[in-house]
Structure 1
Amino acid sequence: MEGLIFYWSCWAFWIYLTFILEKQNPFRVKLAAIVLIALILSNIQFMVGEFEIQASGLFILGICYLFISQEKRGGIIYFFICSFIITIAYVTFHLFEIFDPIWIVFKKEWMMGIALWYLAILLQKTLKGRLIIIFAGGMQGEILYAYILNKFQFPYLIGEFAYLDVCSLTALLLAGWSTLENAGTILQNHFHFFEKGKQKSS
């Protein structure tokens, strides 16, 4: 069922933001609002010229551009280069799926998610940067892919649930990888705190 990964991951993230994350976190309310709005807009479609667009995808793209605009000029340029690379990879995967589907050896969402996950790790160092280029590049890829299909009179919903599923899956993989990357620091801080406690007690 398309959209299942998106809905599960969004609700899980919203629950984490609302009930688990410390209330002093300055990004807590903003992120929770973004997730809720994306969920609400996920069933809204509208037409722009010849193209049908799902509102949540366009909303996510706008949020990504907002985050990118807060970077310095060099950072903005690099973000757009990275997102363009993701866009090309996204479109290429879809085109190969049409012209040579035999190489899709398992679920395409997982194949694409793993490929985008690897690219994001190579292109960006932070989890925030990786998520931005995945969601922005993926949506840009949706627009470009729809434009290509439109040349052949094939209808395509831009930002459909398949896109949301792939991006959500990639985001989960990136979050897991980020946890592994920071595991050493977390454990080091934990043991350092534990040793301090032992010294005080002695």
Structure 2
Amino acid sequence: MEGIIFLWVAWGLWIYTTFIMEKNEKGRFLFSFYLLCLICLFPYRFSILSYEVHADYLFLALLALIYMRRLGLRQKLYMLICILTIAMSYAGVGLVAIYDPVLMIIDPYVIAALLSMSLGFIFYSSINKMRNLFLSVISGTLTGEIFLSVTLHNIGFSKMIGDYLYMDTAAYMALMTITWKAVHSLNALMSSKLSSNKGEIKNI
């Protein structure tokens, strides 16, 4: 079923942020609220001009614009380059999947998620910039959805902007970001333990 990956990931993250995350953790309420809004808006869609747009797409676009407003001018320009790069690669994968699906060995939306995250890592390789990484990747794929839908519309095809398959792609990207953060945290924990063990051996 299209969109089921997104629903499972969103519900899992909402349970974590609501019941497991530390109460004094910064942004806990906002993350929980955003996830609940995405889940509630999942069944709805709107018509804008001659295009059909998913409600979650509009909500994600609004959140991306709000957070981008807080960046400095230089950060915005840098992120703009990243967003356009990801958008064009995302739309390119979508077009190849439609016109020559034989080339797609695995799910094209998984390929799009992997490619978008890889480009995001190239632009934002530091773990301290993880929020900017995810913001740029989401914004890039949101823009890529517009490029893809407009291109298909001009040649006589119709595609909902931000459909259920796109939400699955966003879920894949969220899981990749969380995995990267978890691996980095585990690596830092192991490094600190090894350092403390070396200190104990030297004291002996």
**Length-normalised TM-score, structure 1:** 0.90
Change (3 A) 1:193 1:35: farther
Which residue does the alignment assign to 1:55? 55
1:168 maps to what in 2?
171
1:111 aligned partner, one-letter code:
I
- The CA deviation string for residues 33-80 of structure 1, in whole angstroms up to 9 with x for no partner, is 111111111111111100110011111011011111111111111112
Query: Which 10-residue stretch deviates more, 86-95 or 106-115?
Result: 106-115
Among candidates 184, 192, 195, match of residue 181 of structure 1? 184
SS at match of 1:137: helix
1:154 is matched with 157
Shift of 1:194: 8.9
Equivalent residue, structure 2, for 1:136: 139
Q: Could you tell me how far apart the structure 2 residues matched to 1:35 and 1:189 are?
A: 33
- Per the alignment, in what secondary structure is the counterpart of residue 154 of structure 1? coil
2:53 aligns to what SS in structure 1?
Answer: strand
Q: Note if contact 2:93-2:108 (Cα within 8 Å) is conserved in structure 1.
A: no
Superposition deviation, residue 181 in structure 1: 2.5
**In 2: Cα distance, 1:10 partner to 1:37 partner:** 10
Alpha-carbon distance in 1 for matches of 2:118, 2:170: 13
Provide the aligned length of Structure 1 versus Structure 2: 197
Q: For structure 2, list consecutive stretches of 5 or more residues without a partner in the other structure.
A: none
* Percentage of matched positions with identical amino acids: 23
Which amino acid in structure 2 is aligned with residue 185 of structure 1? A
Amino acid at match of 1:152: I
Structure 1 gap segments, 5+ residues each: none
Give the TM-score taking structure 2 as reference length.
0.89
Residue aligning to 2:106: 106
